[in-house]
Amino acid sequence: MDIDNIIQGRRSSFPAQYSGDKIPERVVLHLLENANWAPTHYHTEPWRFKVFADGGLNRLMDALAAIYKERTPEEAFSQAKFEKYTDRKSKVSHAIVIVMKKSLRPDLPEVEEVCATACAVQNMWLTLANYPQYGGYWSTGHLVYTDEFREFLHLEEDEMCLGIFYLGSLREDAREIPGRRGDWNEKVSFQYN
Ligand SMILES: Cc1cc2nc3c(=O)[nH]c(=O)nc-3n(C[C@H](O)[C@H](O)[C@H](O)COP(=O)(O)O)c2cc1C
């Protein structure tokens, strides 16, 4: 596959598109190995990943459901949203929690560590091009930034959760959601002199 197809064909695939079949461990390890080749200022390699599957995935979903319930005022509570987490237990194969570990270097702004971690996630995502029967997406939402979730993950003081990369086997009939982008020309300016 050429680079244009890999980059432009990368898609977010959501749990509703997953069959529930497990992804082989070697595929998950391949994604994580390529994540580690992201660019990184001062070679700090700030990306950390916590991989949840099987009983671990159940615990993760139960934790998110509990935090959602605890944090959401009664009038805003949605039973469907709450049940989304239970539903994921049977649909998702692996959930990779994305963590940025901030370097102690005073000359390295945190934003650069976040950028490097995002590059690592993109590497995982692009590696999925090798395995068209599997898909994934980066999920955030306000719960991943809460103290309760930090506690569940046992994050250190210098660590920050940047979301969850959900992975699943794609159903044969899963609807391919077409990619959509505005014109790149409108986001670029050239200043050549
Ligand atoms: C940092 C980040 C956070 C995201 N968080 C969510 C999310 O919480 N929920 C969601 O449905 N999609 C989330 N996405 C995925 C976007 O919805 C998706 O990338 C966008 O719709 C473009 O679709 P594509 O990835 O198929 O090109 C996130 C993507 C990024 C980069």
**pLDDT, position 176:** 76
Q: Is 192 within a domain?
A: no
The token duo for 30 is 């391949």
CATH number of the domain enclosing 127: 3.40.109.10
DSSP alpha helices (H): ranges in the chain? 3-9, 25-35, 54-71, 79-91, 110-127, 147-153
- The number of domains in the chain is 1
Q: Is 114 within a domain?
A: yes
**pLDDT, position 165:** 99
Is residue 163 within 6 Å of ligand 1 at its C-beta? yes
Is residue 20 within 6 Å of ligand 1 at its C-beta? no
Q: Is 183 within a domain?
A: no
Q: Is 74 within a domain?
A: yes
CA dihedral of residues 160, 64, 126, 99 (deg, nearest 10): 10
Q: Is 5 within a domain?
A: no
Is residue 137 within 6 Å of ligand 1 at its C-beta? yes
**CA 162/CA 139 separation, integer angstroms:** 9
Q: Is 178 within a domain?
A: no
Give, for ligand 1, the residue of 5, 117, 119, 139 to mutate: max count of ligand atoms closer than 8 Å to Cβ. Answer: 139
Burial class, 66, CB count within 10 angstroms (exposed 0-12 / middle 13-18 / buried 19+) = middle
Residue 122's domain comprises 14-167
Q: Tens-of-pLDDT digits for all 193 residues of the chain?
A: 799 999 999 999 999 999 999 999 999 999 999 999 999 999 999 999 999 999 999 999 999 999 999 999 999 999 999 999 999 999 999 999 999 999 999 999 999 999 999 999 999 999 999 999 999 999 999 999 999 999 999 999 999 999 999 999 999 998 778 899 999 999 999 999 9
Q: What is the pTM of this model?
A: 0.97
